[in-house]
Structure 1
Amino acid sequence: MSNEHYLRNPLIHRDRRLGRRHSDWINQFDCTHLRPLIICRGPIRKEAMDVFSEMGIQDFGILLSEKDSIVYQSALAPELRSIANPDRVHRVPDYTGANKEERDQRIAQIIAIAHENGYNAIFAGYGFMAEDENMVAAMERAGLNFIGPCSRTVHDAGLKDEAKRTALKTGVSVTPGIDNGTALTLLKKHPTIADLKTLCADQGLAVEEGVLDNPDISLEDKADLVLAASYRKGIDLYTVDELSETLTEAVEKMTAEYPENRVRLKAISGGGGKGQRILGIGEAARTSEMVREILNEVKTTGVGDNKNVLVELNIETTRHQEIQVIGNGEWCMTMGGRDCSLQMHEQKLLEVSVTVESLQAAITQAEASGNEVETRILKQDLLTLEAMEDEAARFGAAVGLDSVSTFECIVDRDKHFFMEMNTRIQVEHRVTELCYALKFANPDNPEEHFIVESLVEAMVLLAAHGEKLPRPERILRHNDSVEARLNATNQALQPSAGGVIEAWSDAVEGEIRDDQGISLHNPDTDVFMKYTLAGAYDSNIALLLTVGETRLDTYERMAEVIRQTNMRGKDLATNLEFHYGLVNWFIGQNINARPTTRFIVPYLTAVGELKEQANGVDLDYAWREVSRAALEGHDGDAAGALATALDRKSTLFLRPLARLLEEPHVLSGWLSINRDCYTLIEGKICWNENPVELLADSYHYLNMDFVAGAPAASVIWDHDNEVLQQAMDFYAELNNRVDADDWISLQTLLAQGEAPAGFSAAGWNEVRAAHKGFQAGAEILAILPAIAEATGYYDLAVNPDLSIHIPERLFDGELQERMAKVLVPPPVAKSDEILAESGGMFYGRETPQHDVYVKEGDHFNAGDPLYIVEVMKMFNKVYAPFSGTIEKVLVEDDGVIISKGQPLFKITPDEKIVVQTPEEIAARRRRITGAFLEQIV
């Protein structure tokens, strides 16, 4: 574990342990009277245990799900080994129950456990029931101190409809649009209250008496009441043409305000994509046509039907940003932002801080480099951040926030829109607390103060002493921080349960590692304890964080942390390589890039294309061809010496190349940071830097540096290292003795037969011969950029305005699906069976009320659903890869645990599956490799 855990000790108790005395004002915020029951799991449980202990809170208990405890077959979960009293570990079937009835039972059980064991507080972390209004209210009624927002805040801020109403009342930006087009249309014809009264009288509409005279109801809401009465009576008060005119005006207004966005029209009675149309830019004139299509589709064209159609801004380039908010019910403040746009299937992957200080530093750097476009974008981001922080503080105050919560927004270029407030601490909260701390000072004597560096600690203080706590000062710790979520997923980021972690390297300098204690060794034997990724809950293993004074510094530290991380195990799949590639992609492109929530799947698809090409490379054949080309024109002793040198260097080049071709995410990162190392000239790869130095950098990038005594499989081999170091020393000395600014200049100089100053003719010939020997075979490195060129990998790039250009092909659903299978090939099956693509829980139907997808004797077509597998709380529907007939279902019933590669169905395919012979595969790989060799030899 990292020393970072000790950097966040609260000042009160840190000083107390050192024997210092505090003033009465500071001592009044002591929290040792709390006896919390922790009802969550994972990294946040371990963090809460650490923070409680650091605060002097010793009498806390743990709620342990029976599903959670199976990860260690013969021992307690690692973080629980530190609890000396086993009576403080309370076992329940699971944390929440499978339905509302079981959920209510679990809430009652938790309250009973708390009362029976003397706990007076509840800590729910960020999972399960952390923002369940009913649970929080039940805890409050039971006299338990809930460490988190109160039930009133959870209701007002946590329910999205209530939150949007509050946002509108407090002037918070919401997604632009109108949802009352029919009311606006009616008011065009009957613009006053008197007109509406006359209309009701003339048409005999039953509107509640006095409601039209109520000053607390807006005119538009009164029009809606009149319309509701007309629908009940079955009459129309407007025509479709009149409604279309109103909606066209709304579309034109929105287009003028947001010229780069399209506009969405959506029927009030639509759903599931039905009754929706998107108007392209400049298509406002088609509004009437689209409105009629929509009304026909949802069948609301009859007399008396509610024909309301919403007009909404179509958010084109969504960035997901959030603001950390904290309050005590009287004051409310913010602690900067986080960009959480790098996500997939609504699951966040990499989260980076967004702070005023970081943006100001980035603006200064962009101005100094003369980059006007980037400067403009960064300045706008700063304005957006400040606006979101202001709105978040006002919204938090409006809902009476008395703990920590997160204000979530959609950011679209220079606009932002409130999405929701999460009334709990979040997984990525440490991204914020590593940037800012809170200084609480005595209003009457500022010299009396204490500093809080942990948001969990702040939650405890607010729960115990909220009303007494003065508004704190936000103080800077670091300009930037980033968090990578280490998950049990395969190379396509699909959940992968069942693996066992058998070894995990210790945290390195600069690494902040939050897990549930997995990496803690056995305190008695100092042995790493194997950990099973059981899959009963989510796929998260740990949170890896780094900090820095610039975003680039932070990302480079994260890349270094991942480079040195070594995790081994049985059937183990994690997204560690994905993060290494992704972090290096941004380092190589532009660290200030603004990815949207649409980025990850196209990025994965591009990585899949790299892997598809890499699979076709025959390295041994390539090396033979490179060696053959190098020997052309040589004979006698010279040819023999060169052949010997090439043979000796084969593993020096092929071992790192094989690693990069095998691991596509790692290859993606390598290509990104080495983009400028070559130029394509007339179809040939030409190096802009010394390939020998690039090779040395590649060994380091792969964490294969020479370490005496290290396992040979994980480092450069002794004799290869000797050759590489000789070459590096040779070029270092040569660069010191000749006047050459770069590699191209040095090559030009070496191509000349005339010796430069300081060399004899004989000596210069020896230098040139040595150079040729050291470079022999280096051409094979060009296979890597050749693969990038073949796939158009570099087309995925950061634009000058910091947006990301994603080639259209990478959005193709069929390509995305195919590349996911390239990244994670399905298990090899016989021609008469279908195997499980992953482990998990098997379901043969949509719900218990539905029929099974397939049964014995059924014919299925390619693309038909066959079954659902639940793995790590995600439901994945699996589709038939080809057409055929089910001969036998090999899984007995729903809810059965299956393993990857397990036969599920015996089938008869419609067409005979042709399997390539090894000879055919080898011939194909030679053809592909030959095409690459044309670029390098």
Structure 2
Amino acid sequence: MAPDSESKTVNKENYLNNPLIHQDRIRTGSAWVQSFDCSHMRPLIICRGPIRKEAMDVFEEMGIHHYGILLSEKDSIVYQNALAPELRKLTDPTRVHRVPDYTGANKEERAVRIRQIINIAKTNGYNSIFAGYGFMSEDAEMVEAMEEAGLNFIGPCSYTQKSAGMKDQAKRTALKTGVSVTPGVNNATSLALFAKYGKDGLEKCAADNNLAVDFAACADDEEKALALLAASYDAGIDVIDADDIGRALQVEASRMLAEKPNNRFRLKAIAGGGGKGQRILQAANSYEGATLEERVAKAAAKVPGLTRECLVELKTNGVGDNKNVLIEMNIDTTRHQEIQVVGNGQWCMTLGGRDCSLQMHEQKLLEVSVTVEELKEAIEVARAAGKQDELQQLEKDLVILEKMEREGALFGEAVKLDSVGTFECIVDGEAHYFMEMNTRIQVEHRVTELCYALRFTNPEDASDSFRVDSLVEAMMLLAAHGPRLPKPTREARSAASVEARLNATNQALQPHAGGLIENWSDPIDGEIRDDQGISLHNPDTGVFMKYHLAGAYDSNIALLLTVGDNRKHTYERMSEVLRVTELRGKDLATNLEFHYGLVNWFLGNNINARPTTRFIVPYLTAVGLLKQAANNIDLAHAYASLCQTRIAQAGEQGRAVSAVLETKQLLLTRPLEKLMAEPHLMAGWLSMHRAHFDLRDGHIHWLTNPVQVLAETYHFLNMDYCGRKPAANMIWQEDSQVLADAVAFYQTLATKVPAKSFDELCAVLAGGAPAGFSDEQWADVQAAHRGYQLGCQILSLPVYLALETGFFDLKVNTDLSIHIPERLTESSLQAAMAKVLVPPPVAKSDEILAPTGGMFYSREAPGMAPFVEVGSHFNAGEPLYIIEVMKMFNKVNAPFAGTIKEILVQDDGTIIKKGQPLFKIEPDEKVEVESPEAINARRQSATEAFLATLEI
């Protein structure tokens, strides 16, 4: 609970600990308010990560002190390296319960785990279950088992889980309620049943398998098929298997591919979430073939294998599992938007939207609020600025948002939502389509709760009310008092919010298992950090406690959030959060730099840009091209050549010029070295400086004083002088003084020499003494100016790299869509640039190494043949093995053709490390390695080309 007014937010602790919290409201409120006390609830928390810590904090604030937590042996807690942050707070060992794994590896283990959880709850006096946003939070079977055991599930009930949690049933419900859905097929299991037994053979199938099915109660063949399938699931038998479903989907895919040969399609296992259990089927016209029929056949042939991959990834390929897989048209230009929905089973309402389009591999990266209030303000700003194209797009977005909110509430009522859920949609132009409803709280729920609160008002007294800011608290209230809660109104809190998911990934956003966090800077004002308490210091010693990222479940480390007066302000605050965040450790890779570059790309282009879900990979490719070009530059040679030219131009003053250039060398080159080493930082820097230069006669010309650019660069890179920092991480003290003197010189000069631009200032400085200066004074000013500008031409290097690689061609159009150059969408270039960003381990010519750590699998699914065996010949692009990293299954294809001589990993499920040899091979062709001489010649040629663009 929160008061009617509050500070915007500083860090997570201040955000949660509002002056008036649930306990205070219960103690001081009216009898009606006090009737919603939740202290009788005794929840067992069966989730992990930031949501577990958040639930603990919220429950404490609500006066709920008898709660317990479930720890998996595979959780990201390795006691020898780190004390679980939760255990620093929950010190009662009787309230900490351990299981081997949260869900189990298959259906049988999952059933065992459900019984274990119920037993733990019953034995230890818990009366409710909080499942957060992972594992079994959307498992209808589990929720039903909890309800039957008399436990209160803090989340949507089993009816809602069944009606909306499974993608096929959700689409059927959406169609019945008039909600727009993505075109596709959602009854693959029924089609497989009809193909195998015929519509007239369903009763015989039921009899042969001893299944009791009331066919007479079914309205049509589809209902008969669904009833038969449901009975088979309950009995734990398969009347159809994954191969049957794959064949049925292949038939449907052939039809869809023929109708839309240029479209890609998406296969989705019905129980999937977070991008898991989904695969893309490439368009028919992406295959070679003389006729459309040939191309369709080649594309459709991939469907059975993709179907198995979807099921294997979710571990729903066991006997008796519901193996339904949807196939939908993949709208490549789609924007992913979702609506926060809250209900009590009778009423249902929405709390605005979130744009989650910035994602990769179906994993969200950056999420931003979308609200009616924010859009209306942006519309007025665009109208005042005369930006007609932008205005029209924003007005369309407002119409779409209002439609999605209406449909979200309608769908929530249809499925009797009695907690918190998310209505997920894709937006394509002026159309939107319902994808699925997540019957749980979302990872990004804070994006919404930072913008809106819920106001519950006494139906009999309008002056009697209370406010809820936390969606976790709302879930608890709905679980404890749902039917009595009146429909609330929503109240605006902040105008805009944004969340960056800090993940354990490398520069190419590939999962990076493991790593030890040894230090993490404290949150700053305006930062909300949900990190499971990792960054909290030891309360007794104040020392940061090391934390090991085991990587058994997902790659998320933390959720970083902030708010602002509008989207631009919010992104600026997020940029500052990312700029000053320092995260260090052993074998630690994160996407911190990626986020900093991405946020600044939008700040430098247009903060209202409407990216689609296909934006990130081309963006990464553009960043990879920057890195590739940077690798070709010899910075030391470039600066030395620049110095030689300036010394030669100075004539008799050459010695003095040489001394100045030598003094300034590290001042100028150290930030450039960091930009060239960290391409994501370079991408952000370039985006923010795009308006600071232009091209004149083929030369890069600075419109902004390079001294100012240099000072901003040190700040951008968080290299400002600070006595507490290691020297390697900041500007050196002597260089800081030189730069400060230069900045002060131009600031003072600006007060005495009026000039509207740097060009105009340079023109004044090239002439005679203006009023107020003697000739001698003016000569000193001119000399100081020349000295401060000496060597600054080297700052053009990142700009040159951007121009050479076409980085600025990736840009925002006037209608807020993003122009993506066609070359950035080429899969071969994308793969090549991923390797530039993260070079693969150096292998001998006769071996293949693991590109990352993870779990090795030699085959697509248990019982199937391995991809390769000793003696197998493989071609480039063919699958060699699967590696599971952070619960994602990645099929690894051969980089070249060859023959397997020896397989070095014998057992599936073996944990492998990055760079570990997996196969001994004999390549078809000898791999040519570039000689050191050729590398040096290439770098010198590229460096000379850069020097030719400078204005010297």
1:756 matched to 2:767? The reply is: no
Q: Which amino acid aligns with 2:889?
A: F
Distance 1:459 1:750, change over 3 A: same
Q: Contact (CA 8 Å) 2:11, 2:524: kept in 1 or not?
A: no
Secondary structure at the residue paired with 2:349?
Answer: strand
Confirm whether residue 680 of structure 1 aligns to residue 695 of structure 2.
yes
1:122 aligns with 2:137: no
Question: Larger C-alpha radius of gyration, 1 or 2?
Answer: 1
- Dislocated runs of 4+, deviation >4 Å: 9-15, 176-180, 216-222, 261-267, 271-279, 289-299, 310-314
Q: Partner of 2:197 in structure 1?
A: none
More displaced, 914-923 or 123-132? 914-923
1:81 paired residue among 77, 88, 108: 88
- Residue 100 (structure 1) aligned with residue 107 (structure 2): yes
Aligned-residue offset at 1:406: 0.3
Measured after TM superposition, the shift of residue 892 of structure 1 is 3.3
Matches within 5 A, 1:231-630: 315-630=331-646
Structure 2 counterpart of 1:474, one-letter code: R
2:794 aligned residue: 780
State the identity as a percent. Answer: 62
Show the counterpart of 1:138.
145
- SS of alignment partner, residue 62 of structure 1: strand
Question: Which whole-Å CA distance do the structure 2 matches of 1:543 and 1:356 have between them?
Answer: 24
Paired with 2:692 and 2:283, the residues of 1 have a C-alpha distance of 49
* Secondary structure at 1:381 match in 2: helix
In the alignment, the residues of structure 1 paired with residue 437 and residue 843 of structure 2 have an alpha-carbon distance, to the nearest angstrom, of: 47
Could you tell me how far apart the structure 2 residues matched to 1:92 and 1:176 are?
A: 42
2:242 corresponds to = none
Pick closer, same or farther for the CA change 1:220–1:372 going to 2, 3 Å.
farther
Aligned AA (2:545): M
**Deviation digits for residues 98-150 of structure 1 (CA, Å, limit 9, x no counterpart):** 00000011001100100000000000000001011111100000000000000
Contact between 1:861 and 1:882, CA under 8 Å: does it hold in 2? yes
Answering whether residue 784 of structure 2 is matched by residue 770 of structure 1, we say yes
SS at match of 1:107: helix
Alignment deviations for residues 561-596 of structure 1 (CA, whole Å, 9 cap, x no partner): 000000001111000000000000000000000000
Do structure 1's residue 649 and structure 2's residue 657 form an aligned pair? no
Instruction: Describe the superposition over 1:640-672 as per-residue Cα deviations: whole angstroms up to 9, x where unpaired.
Output: 111000000000011000000000001000000
Question: Does the 8 Å contact 1:72/1:531 carry over to 2?
Answer: no
Among candidates 706, 712, 725, match of residue 697 of structure 1: 712
Q: CA deviation at 1:417?
A: 1.1
Structure 1 segment 665-814 matched on structure 2, within 5 A = 665-752=680-767, 754-814=768-828
SS of 2:882's equivalent in the other structure is: strand
Opposite residue 15 of structure 2, the aligned amino acid is L
> Contact 1:327–1:404 (CA<8 Å) still a contact in 2?
yes
- Call closer, same or farther: CA 1:81–1:624 in 2, change over 3 Å: same
Q: CA deviation at 1:448?
A: 1.7
Q: CA deviation at 1:751?
A: 2.0
Distance 2:12 2:282 in 1: 53
CA drift of 1:807 comes to: 0.4
Amino acid at match of 1:597: T
> In structure 2, how many angstroms separate the alpha carbons of the residues matched to 1:734 and 1:675?
26
Matching residue's letter, 1:731? Y
Is the alpha carbon distance of 1:748 and 1:871 closer, same or farther for their aligned partners in structure 2, counting shifts above 3 Å?
Answer: same
Structure 2 unpaired stretches of 5+: 1-8, 188-215, 225-254, 268-277, 302-325
Conserved 8 A contact 1:586-1:593: yes
Aligned-partner Cα distance in 1 for 2:354–2:266: 31
The one of 852, 856, 862 equivalent to 2:876 is: 862
* 2:830 corresponding residue in structure 1: 816
TM superposition shift of 1:175: 3.2
Please give the TM-score of this superposition, normalised by the length of structure 1. Answer: 0.86
Secondary structure at the counterpart of residue 356 of structure 2:
strand
Q: Is the 8 A contact 2:284 2:298 kept in 1?
A: no
How many angstroms does 1:699 deviate by?
Answer: 0.1
In structure 2, C-alpha distance between the alignment counterparts of 1:919 and 1:312, rounded to whole Å: 53
Return the TM-score normalized by structure 2.
Answer: 0.84
User: Against the structure 1 CA distance between its residues 886 and 168, is the aligned structure 2 distance closer, same or farther, given a 3 Å change threshold?
Assistant: closer
For residue 911 of structure 1, report the CA deviation from its aligned partner: 3.5
Structure 2 residue aligned with 1:901 = 915
Match of 1:460, SS? helix
Q: Which amino acid aligns with 1:154?
A: Q
CA contact (8 A) 2:497 2:561 kept: yes
Please give the alpha-carbon distance, in whole angstroms, between the structure 1 residues aligned to 2:603 and 2:265. 40
C-alpha distance in structure 1 between counterparts of 2:455 and 2:347, whole Å: 14
Give CA-to-partner distance per residue, 1:875-930, whole Å, 9 cap, x none: 22223333334333322322221111222233343433333343432222111111
Residues 529-570 of structure 1, C-alpha deviations (whole Å, 9 max, x = no match): 111111111000000001011000000000000000000011
| Contact persistence 1:10–1:453 (CA under 8 A) | no
Provide the rounded CA distance (Å) in 2 between the counterparts of 1:139 and 1:859: 52
Q: Is the 8 A contact 1:265 1:277 kept in 2?
A: no
For 1:786, give the aligned amino acid.
Answer: Y
**Contact 2:627/2:837 (8 A) holds in 1:** yes
Measure, in 1, the Cα distance between the counterparts of 2:282 and 2:370. Answer: 38
- Is 1:850 the counterpart of 2:858? The answer is no
Query: Residue 837 of structure 1 is aligned with which of 830, 844, 851?
Result: 851
Structure 1 contact 147–459 (Cα < 8 Å) conserved = yes
Q: Whole-Å Cα distance in 2 between the matches of residues 94 and 872 of structure 1?
A: 14
The residue matched to 1:519 in structure 2 has which SS?
coil
Contact 1:266 1:276 in 2 (8 A): no
3-state SS in 2 of match to 1:634: helix
The answer (yes or no) to whether the contact 2:23–2:61 under 8 Å persists in 1 is no
Partner SS, residue 68 of structure 1: coil
The one-letter code sitting in structure 1 at the alignment partner of 2:540 is D
Cα displacement string for residues 137-187 of structure 1 (whole angstroms, at most 9, x for unaligned residues): 00000000000000111111122232223222322222368999xxxxxxx
Provide the rounded CA distance (Å) in 1 between the counterparts of 2:136 and 2:341: 20
1:699-733 C-alpha deviation (Å, 9 max, x unpaired): 00000001124210011001111111111111111
Distance 2:790 2:82 in 1: 56
Give the CA deviation at 1:292: 12
1:221 Cα deviation from its structure 2 partner: 12
Deviations 1:437-467 (A, max 9, x none): 1111111112221111000000000000001
Shift of 1:852: 2.9
CA distance in 2 between partners of 1:927 and 1:294 (Å): 47
CA RMSD between the two structures: 3.0
- Greater Cα shift, 69-78 or 131-140: 69-78
The answer on whether the counterparts of 2:531 and 2:559 sit within 8 Å (CA) in structure 1 is yes
Partner of 2:674: 659
Q: Quick one: which of 14, 21, 24 aligns to 1:16? A: 24
Letter in 2 for 1:118: G
Residue 24 of structure 2 aligns with an amino acid whose one-letter code is R
Q: Which segments of 5 or more consecutive residues in structure 1 lack a partner in the other structure? A: 181-213, 223-246, 256-260, 280-288, 300-309
**Distance in 2 between residues matched to 1:791 and 1:265, nearest whole Å:** 32
Deviations 1:462-512 (A, max 9, x none): 000001111111000001000000000000000001211110001011100
- In structure 2, what is the Cα distance between the partners aligned to 1:13 and 1:879? 54
> Over residues 71-116 of structure 1, what are the superposed CA-to-partner deviations in whole Å (9 max), with x where a residue is unaligned?
3325531112211210111100000000000001100110010000
- Read off the aligned partner of 1:91 and give its amino acid letter: R
Q: Distance in 1 between matches of 2:538 and 2:347?
A: 45
In the TM superposition, what is the alpha-carbon distance from 1:853 to its structure 2 partner?
3.0
Does the CA contact (< 8 Å) of 1:11 and 1:451 recur in 2? no
Superimposed CA distance per residue, residues 184-216 of structure 1 (whole angstroms, 9 cap, x where no aligned partner) = xxxxxxxxxxxxxxxxxxxxxxxxxxxxxx9x9
Asked if the contact 1:265–1:278 (Cα under 8 Å) also holds between the matched residues in 2, the reply is: no
